[in-house]
Amino acid sequence: MEEYLLRQRDYLLSISRAMTARLDLPSLLRLIIEKAVEMLRGEAGLIALRGRDGDFHIRASYGLPTHTPPLFAPLLTDIPLLHVAHWPVPDLYARLQLVAASAGISLRQVVGLPLTLEDQLIGVIYVFRTRDTAFSANDRQVLSSFADQAAIAVRNATLYQRLAEEKGRLDAIIENSADGVLILNAQCHIQTINRALAEMTGWMPEQARGQPCQHVIALRNPQGKDICETGCPLQAFSDQNRLQVEGDIIRPDGHRTSVSITYSPLYDDEGTLVNIIGSVHNVTRFREAEEIKAMFISVISHELKTPVALIKGYANTLRREDAQWDQETVRESLAIIEEESDRLDRLINNLLEASRIQSGTLKLELSDVSIPRLATKVVERFRVQAAKHNLQLDFPPHFPTLLADEERLQEVFSNLISNAIKYSPDGGTIRVGGRVQQDHVELFVSDEGMGIPSTKQSRLFEPFYRVDSSLGRRTQGVGLGLFLCKAIIEGHGGRIWVESAPGKGSTFRFTLPLR
């Protein structure tokens, strides 16, 4: 007997050690119940922990057929909560008999003890015997000290689990944040980048891990210089709490994102820098808006200056009192004044329209429109100025009428045909036509002119964008035509795109829905 008791104590000690080393709660609970049963020479047992709802739920069992634990519910109700002194559980034997009968197992003896931590009941542990030998006072005492150890281990594992859950939640927030996030170690090497930053930099998170920050971020200034190379902005960290850096991140495929990065340091208890957290905000749209504003001013001043100078020059000359002008000169001068005023008028209208689109106040005036008739009208108007070009119309008979804004669609055809002429200086055929498809019509304007490189095609529809070429610089235009076309067509529920290659001509296509 003495030896058995000694063995029990040794056992208790070694198990306590094993328990405290285990942080995975389910496997810890399995270990506890298995060892408790062994130690008390029982045949079966179970552990129930108090859930957030205040009730007891079985979390591990030993020696019980798998379907039976739910039948042990009678042992989990009316458990004295307030004070351990109220233990054991009242009517324990009557409950045991009930459970044994419903589970069909001959359980004869039971010992139940609370798992408590700082006077708080966190769970209960039961050990059963199928034989008649009752649990002794010593068994109870051993189980009690075992339960104290077990409660501490359970608390540690629960805290660890909560910490892991918390970390999981934080990881999910970081991963799914629309802003880019990077976590650096104290040596400025990447520990983590999230999905948004992976997208901006083109680095996979696994590849980025362990890389020096500047390899992955490589922030450029507006002149394209690597800011990180000329002087790492993080060097200025020592005496500041937060640091903000702005620049461009350029992906290997050339995609550019303008960002504003806020770095915050993370120190440990002793004030040593452990991590630097960077929050990367995409400010591309804001930058673009600023660029458009700057472009607007430069384009406006340039494009307004020329016609105004011409108008003023001719008006001035005609007014000179010391000169006599023949009819022909007067007529030619006035024609130029009229032409330049028209140009000014068109430019001002386009600008007004562009600002309406950007403020979202463009309103369509809908009526029944025959597209072939409208296209023919516009083409006829252009025939006069396109002597070198062969303008062709290509519509099938019985083209359906559409509910559309006639004037605006006229503007679309006008812009596309005028571009087709402007950007095919050597002439060629310009075709304007359409096809009827299931629930929409597809219209096109094609030319055999200079074409557009594929890298530039996606930007054509941005306001003030012009492909930089010697012809482009020589032709009039402010880069608003296609922007307006796109807004008008999208306003009708259609879309516009271009098919083109340098030297091979361009085809602009757009769709309009049938009602």
The site for ligand ADP (CB under 6 A) is made up of 415, 419-420, 423, 447, 449-450, 452, 460, 465-467, 472, 477-483, 506
Task: Name the residue nearer to ligand ADP (CB basis): 195 or 456.
Answer: 456
Under 8 Å between Cβ of 125 and 47: yes
Cα of 322 vs its chain's centroid, Å: 71
- Nearest approach, Cβ of 356 to ligand ADP (angstroms)? 17
Task: Name the residue nearer to ligand ADP (CB basis): 176 or 355.
Answer: 355
Other Cβ atoms within 10 Å of 510 Cβ, number = 26
Reference 154, options 56, 57, 54, 25; nearest CA is 25
- Nearest approach, Cβ of 444 to ligand ADP (angstroms)? 11
**Which position's Cβ is nearest ligand ADP?**
477
**Alpha-carbon separation of residue 204 from 17, 167, 199, 201, 280 (angstroms):** 42, 21, 8, 9, 16
Under 8 Å between Cβ of 127 and 42: yes
Report the length, in residues, of the chain: 515
Structure-token pair, residue 227: 């800011």
- Nearest approach, Cβ of 308 to ligand ADP (angstroms)? 18
The Cβ-side half-sphere exposure at 172, using a 13 Å CA radius, reads 6
**Alpha-carbon separation of residue 493 from 108, 188, 480, 488, 512 (angstroms):** 79, 49, 20, 9, 7
- Nearest approach, Cβ of 285 to ligand ADP (angstroms)? 20
- Nearest approach, Cβ of 433 to ligand ADP (angstroms)? 15
Task: Name the residue nearer to ligand ADP (CB basis): 463 or 494.
Answer: 463
3-state helix, strand, coil in the chain (%, to 5): 45, 25, 30
- Nearest approach, Cβ of 162 to ligand ADP (angstroms)? 59
Task: Name the residue nearer to ligand ADP (CB basis): 126 or 483.
Answer: 483
Q: How far apart are CA 128 and CA 285, in angstroms?
A: 70
Reference 143, options 117, 110, 118, 120; nearest CA is 110
- Nearest approach, Cβ of 222 to ligand ADP (angstroms)? 23
- Rounded to 10 degrees, the C-alpha dihedral 456/462/465/466 comes to 50
Q: How far apart are CA 402 and CA 397, in angstroms?
A: 15
Task: Name the residue nearer to ligand ADP (CB basis): 298 or 317.
Answer: 298
Q: How far apart are CA 97 and CA 88, in angstroms?
A: 16
According to DSSP, the residues that pair with 232 across neighbouring strands are none
Task: Name the residue nearer to ligand ADP (CB basis): 263 or 508.
Answer: 508
According to DSSP, the residues that pair with 110 across neighbouring strands are 128
Task: Name the residue nearer to ligand ADP (CB basis): 107 or 362.
Answer: 362
- Nearest approach, Cβ of 361 to ligand ADP (angstroms)? 21
Reduce the DSSP state of residue 273 to 3 states and report it.
strand
* 379-406: burial string, b at 16+ Cβ within 10 Å, e else: beebeeebeebebeeebeeebeebebbb
- Nearest approach, Cβ of 342 to ligand ADP (angstroms)? 15
For residue 307, whether the previous peptide bond is cis, meaning omega lies within 30 degrees of 0, is no
H or E element, residue 61:
strand 56-62
Task: Name the residue nearer to ligand ADP (CB basis): 209 or 509.
Answer: 509
- Nearest approach, Cβ of 377 to ligand ADP (angstroms)? 20
- Nearest approach, Cβ of 378 to ligand ADP (angstroms)? 15
The Cβ-side half-sphere exposure at 96, using a 13 Å CA radius, reads 20
- Nearest approach, Cβ of 169 to ligand ADP (angstroms)? 48
H or E element, residue 432:
strand 428-436
According to DSSP, the residues that pair with 256 across neighbouring strands are 250
Under 8 Å between Cβ of 363 and 353: no
Task: Name the residue nearer to ligand ADP (CB basis): 95 or 486.
Answer: 486
Other Cβ atoms within 10 Å of 252 Cβ, number = 8
Task: Name the residue nearer to ligand ADP (CB basis): 409 or 460.
Answer: 460
Task: Name the residue nearer to ligand ADP (CB basis): 176 or 454.
Answer: 454
Task: Name the residue nearer to ligand ADP (CB basis): 248 or 340.
Answer: 340
- Nearest approach, Cβ of 221 to ligand ADP (angstroms)? 28
Task: Name the residue nearer to ligand ADP (CB basis): 34 or 490.
Answer: 490
With tokens 């006072």, the residue in question is 137
Nearest-5° Cα angle at 300, 295 to 303: 120
